[in-house]
């Protein structure tokens, strides 16, 4: 049953404090972070604060909730959604970021993770990592396709040192118009 009194609460009461790490309100680390040092406590809060600023600058917004995507980690209504981060054990210049969407069929996963990748890596002068690798958790129905695209963007970034800001980046990897159309047909929900 819907608790209509909850609609009268201040929207701020629906979010954790930005300076607090609340383990029960962030997703558990997934397979992309396994075997690496997962950030928690102050380390998580510090990088996530920077993430909020970078996402604001690059307008990485979740249009369903109409807020900066970094705020999803603080939204108590979605305790199993958002980003978790891990330091790569054998390369401290690389950070891994795994996104867990609110649902297995979230239509924004492709856009949100690419926007995240671009924000972190285009503004790499604002943090201590040479590369932030991004993947979506496998619970999403299109995770394999999205993760392949993110891996291709990562490869291009490592080769050129630039983040492609035009389109999805497919053309920077040699895709023709028909290949791009085929790829878009594969990832569109309808």
pLDDT along the chain (190 residues), means of 10: 39 84 91 96 96 96 93 94 94 96 95 97 95 97 97 95 60 41 47
- How many other β-carbons are positioned within 10 Å of the β-carbon of residue 146? 22
Res 118: pLDDT: 97
According to the model, what pLDDT value does residue 89 have? 86
pTM of the prediction? Answer: 0.81
Q: What is the pLDDT of residue 186?
A: 53
3-state secondary structure of 82: strand
**DSSP codes joined into one string, 168-189:** TSGGGGT--HHHHHHHHHHH--
pLDDT at 12: 65
β-pairing, 67-68 vs 94-100, is unpaired
Nearest to 139 by CA among 85, 80, 95, 70: 80
pLDDT at 182: 52
Which pLDDT score is estimated for 82?
Answer: 95
């Amino acid at each position: 049953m819907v608790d209509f009194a909850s609609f009268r609460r201040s929207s701020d009461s629906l979010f954790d404090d930005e300076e607090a790490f609340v383990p029960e309100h962030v997703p558990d680390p997934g397979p992309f972070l396994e075997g690496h040092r997962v950030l928690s406590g102050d380390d998580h809060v510090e990088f996530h604060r920077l993430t909020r600023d970078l996402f604001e600058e690059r307008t990485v917004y979740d249009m369903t909730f109409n807020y900066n995507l970094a705020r999803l980690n603080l939204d108590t209504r979605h305790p199993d959604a958002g980003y978790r981060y891990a330091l790569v054990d054998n390369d401290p210049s690389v950070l891994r970021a795994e996104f867990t969407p609110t649902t297995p069929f979230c239509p924004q996963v492709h856009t949100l993770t690419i926007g995240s990748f671009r924000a972190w890596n285009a503004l790499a002068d604002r943090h201590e990592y040479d590369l932030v690798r991004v993947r979506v958790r496998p619970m999403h129905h299109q995770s394999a396709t999205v993760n392949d695209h993110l891996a291709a963007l990562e490869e291009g970034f490592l080769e050129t040192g630039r983040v492609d800001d035009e389109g999805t980046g497919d053309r920077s990897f040699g895709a023709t118009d028909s290949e791009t159309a085929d790829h878009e047909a594969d990832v569109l929900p309808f």
